[in-house]
Structure 1
Amino acid sequence: MDRSASTPMRPVAEQLDALERAGVLARAHGDRTDVRAAFRALRAEKTGGLVALHPHWFAASALAPLLSLNAQPGFVVEDMIDVDEFTPVGIEIPNTPLYLVRQVSRGDDLRNVSPEEAIIRIEASHRRPLTLQEGLSWALGDPAIIEPNYCFMTIGSRKVKRVRPSGETIYDARTPALWVSSGTGRDGIERRGAPKLGWCWWGNRHTWLDIASAAR
């Protein structure tokens, strides 16, 4: 599966159906009337794109267990209990529970490129990185996007550690990523083959992790 260029998305209605089957509505924060209205509005959408879930309404920690692959539920790694503190950086998101993201790419061409290096290349191409919730939305709507040795980082979401008196923002060195568990270490053998929400270092390269992006 070549995901180096913009990837054709499943029809919007099919993605919405998949999200509903996964139980996304029950995991929404706040008034679910707004969420249901957003679902209905997107069903009338005539153009294509990735159906994305807004982080204000949908916490990553609540979405990850809804992932499913190889008959295994998804999970968040034990050393990322602060996953919900990773929020979009430098990306404008519509103020609605669900929205469409255009021209999404898993980023196979950015394999073995660090997030620090990739962000420069992505922005130079007039694109922007995918956020964590957008990546989770994609994996919920199209589980096949997470493949062994073809998984991806969502570097559009970062955790703020502190802001210096100068105004400079210091970010956590971790970046969220979605991949398939090998069942080793603290994951546990029972999770072998399960979809996994983990992290990688901002400055590290990985031969098996892509870096997902979308049109601005």
Structure 2
Amino acid sequence: MPETETATTTVPSLPALADQAERLIELGVHELAGVSAAELRAFAAGGEGGGDVLLAVHPDRVPASTLAPLLRREGRPGFVVVDMPDVDRFTPQTDTLPDGPLYLLTGVDRGDHMANWSPEEALPALSAQDRTPLLLTEGIHWLLQQPDVLERNHCFMTIGSRLRKDNGALDARTPAIWISNGTGRDGKERRGAPKVGWCWWGNRHTWLGFASAATRGPAAAPTP
């Protein structure tokens, strides 16, 4: 596998689940998902842990195109690149996604150690480690809770979401989240903003890791 050319930095811990629930309520995500504030708080209260557990909303309830503008960095809202109008067609390529509107992920990692790997190389490596790549919506949820996870030269791909074409083949684009430089069609006003875009399945980027989780399910992992 390729050598990593960027050093790993410390990723900020996640807030407690109760605080994550309040953050989603503040943003109105619960209403978008058709879940009451009381239901969201009750779900968070039933989970275990903190700092290692991420609260997520099922992508069928709130898609990436709706979540992305809720992101903030340096006062600028997040956005989806203009050449990805089909962003919500990038669906989960996993059979472990819970059925309910809310679920939890444990052991979320930015995957800095895989910087300069291609998605094609990273996916089997993650599988061999019994880790599941994050969905695009999960990556956005992570940044809604902890914006500082997104750093220059330390951004990430979310290859758990792929677009399957009408002929059954997977699209060669793979979604990622990084920081706009305000160039090209992004526009100068978006410099520094969180950016949802895509990279090719076979390409490598020194500044993109591969976000993944240890588990995904309706309840947090048992306390050791």
**TM-score normalized by the length of structure 1:** 0.89
Q: 1:50 to 1:32 in 2, by over 3 A?
A: closer
What is the match of residue 44 of structure 1?
46
Write the mapping of 1:73-112 to structure 2, written as runs, cut at 5 A: 73-112=77-116
Q: 1:125 to 1:151 in 2, by over 3 A?
A: same
Q: 1:87 to 1:39 in 2, by over 3 A?
A: farther
Does residue 12 in structure 1 map to residue 20 in structure 2?
no
**What is the Cα deviation at residue 149 of structure 1?**
1.2
**What is the Cα deviation at residue 24 of structure 1?**
1.6
Write the mapping of 1:153-164 to structure 2, written as runs, cut at 5 A: 153-163=157-167
Letter in 2 for 1:22: L
What is the match of residue 6 of structure 2?
none
What is the match of residue 64 of structure 2?
60
Find the aligned partners of 1:23 and 1:108 in 2 and give their Cα distance.
31
Give structure 2 stretches of 5+ with no counterpart. 1-8, 216-224
Find the aligned partners of 1:32 and 1:22 in 2 and give their Cα distance.
13
Give the alignment partner of residue 146 of structure 2, picking from 131, 135, 142: 142
Give the alignment partner of residue 23 of structure 1, picking from 25, 28, 41: 28
Q: How many residues align?
A: 205
Q: 1:19 to 1:40 in 2, by over 3 A?
A: same
Find the aligned partners of 2:55 and 2:35 in 1 and give their Cα distance.
17
Q: Deviations over 1:87-108 (max 9, x none)?
A: 0002411112221101111100
Letter in 2 for 1:79: D
**TM-score normalized by the length of structure 2:** 0.86
The answer (yes or no) to whether the contact 1:38–1:97 under 8 Å persists in 2 is: no
Write the mapping of 1:192-203 to structure 2, written as runs, cut at 5 A: 192-203=191-202
Find the aligned partners of 2:141 and 2:88 in 1 and give their Cα distance.
15
Does residue 213 in structure 1 map to residue 212 in structure 2?
yes
Letter in 2 for 1:170: A
Provide the aligned C-alpha RMSD in A: 1.6
Give structure 1 stretches of 5+ with no counterpart. 164-168
Aligned-pair identity in percent equals: 51
**Runs (4+) of structure 1 moved beyond 6 Å?**
none
